[in-house]
């Protein structure tokens, strides 16, 4: 392996580990708050909606799947109601065409969200208009809101009941942090409700 490639690999792994160390130092209270929000909603028969764009859309799908199927194979539990608003191409494309892409997640929240549900909005910058409009619509409808963010949190930070801002400016490190935090939240919810 050439030296520059090896340096890139080692630097990337160290940076990822350092980001997670900062998450541990700075965000434990926010993560705990998110656990309480999700646990309370699911315990009352409510559901979790998730949205994001690009890699954050994939994260929304990943985390929704963990809830519907399971995280821990040793915990026997029913599927938990979670919907990634990023998976229905007919709704996304019709919305983009008819009402503008910035409105597609807000429209889905309007249609599917009910008071007491939770919306998890995922944006590495906190500046995604489609996610921010969804957070606003969720607040209007009485949903609890959690935002997985990065950088300075952007506008999304002020729109969420619980903002988890990964302390990094690097999109890849932020996304890695989002999946780690999401796994922690949903695994702990699973444990506390069914473990």
Q: What is the pLDDT of residue 1?
A: 77
Q: Which of 176, 183, 186, 145 is nearest to 55 (CA)?
A: 176
The per-residue pLDDT for range 120-177, each reduced to its tens digit, is 999 999 999 999 999 999 999 999 999 999 999 999 999 999 999 999 999 999 999 9
How confident is the model over 68-98, as pLDDT tens digits?
Answer: 999 999 999 999 999 999 999 999 999 999 9
Domains of the chain with CATH codes:
3-194 (3.40.50.10490)
pLDDT in tens, 94-118: 999 999 999 999 999 999 999 999 9
Q: How much is the pLDDT for 157? A: 98
Q: What is the pLDDT of residues 17-35, one digit of tens each?
A: 999 999 999 999 999 999 9
Handedness of CA 110, 115, 120, 126 (dihedral sign): positive
Burial class (CB in 10 A: 0-12, 13-18, 19+), 110: middle
> Per-residue pLDDT tens for 49-66?
999 999 999 999 999 999
């Amino acid at each position: 392996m050439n030296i520059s490639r090896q340096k890139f690999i080692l630097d990337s792994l160290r940076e990822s580990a350092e980001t997670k160390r900062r998450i541990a130092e700075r965000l434990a209270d926010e993560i705990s708050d998110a656990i309480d929000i999700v646990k309370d909603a699911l315990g009352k028969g409510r559901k979790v909606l998730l949205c994001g764009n690009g890699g954050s859309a994939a994260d929304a799908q990943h985390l929704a799947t963990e809830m519907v199927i399971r995280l821990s194979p040793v915990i026997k539990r029913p599927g938990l109601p979670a919907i990634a608003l990023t998976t229905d191409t007919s709704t996304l494309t019709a919305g983009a065409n008819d009402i503008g892409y910035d409105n597609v997640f807000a429209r889905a929240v309007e249609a599917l969200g009910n008071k007491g549900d939770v919306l998890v909005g995922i944006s590495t910058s906190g500046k995604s208009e489609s996610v921010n409009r969804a957070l606003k619509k969720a607040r209007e409808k009485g949903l609890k809101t959690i935002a997985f963010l990065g950088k300075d949190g952007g506008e999304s930070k002020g729109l969420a009941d619980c903002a988890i801002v990964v302390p990094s400016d690097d999109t890849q490190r932020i996304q890695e942090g989002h999946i780690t935090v999401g796994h922690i939240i949903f695994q702990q919810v699973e444990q506390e409700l069914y473990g």
